[in-house]
Amino acid sequence: MKVGMEIKFLINCGKVVTLHVEHQYCNFMKQLDTIFAEKLLKVSAIKLQPDNPFIWASGWNSPIYTDNRVTLSYPEVRSFIKVELCRLILENFPDTDAVAGVATGAIAQGALVADALGLPYVYVRSTPKDHGLENLIEGNLKPGQKVVVVEDLISTGGSSLKAVAAIRASGCEVVGMVAMFSSCSMRAGCPFLLLIWGLLEKIGRAHVRTPVTPQ
CB 22 within 8 A of CB 2: yes
Preceding peptide of 104 cis, ω within 30°: yes
Per-residue pLDDT at 65: 83
Q: Give the pLDDT confidence of 65-90 residue by residue, as tens digits.
A: 888 899 999 999 999 999 999 999 99
Per-residue pLDDT at 166: 96
Cα 42–47–50 angle (5° rounding)?
Answer: 135
Pick from 37, 48, 114: nearest CA to 77: 37
What percent of the chain has pLDDT above 70? 69
Q: Give the pLDDT confidence of 157-167 residue by residue, as tens digits.
A: 678 889 999 99
Per-residue pLDDT at 29: 52
> β-strands 121-124, 98-102: how paired?
parallel
Q: How many CB atoms lie within 10 A of CB 55?
A: 10
Q: How many CB atoms lie within 10 A of CB 39?
A: 18
Q: Considering only residues 136 and 7, tell me which one the structure prediction assigns the higher pLDDT.
A: 136
Q: Give the pLDDT confidence of 32-61 residue by residue, as tens digits.
A: 778 888 899 899 998 888 888 888 777 778
CA atoms of 195 and 90, how far apart (whole Å): 14
H or E element that contains 4: strand 2-10
Q: Give the pLDDT confidence of 176-189 residue by residue, as tens digits.
A: 999 887 655 445 55
Q: Considering only residues 73 and 196, tell me which one the structure prediction assigns the higher pLDDT.
A: 73
Q: Full-prediction pTM beyond 0.85? A: no
Q: Considering only residues 57 and 22, tell me which one the structure prediction assigns the higher pLDDT.
A: 57
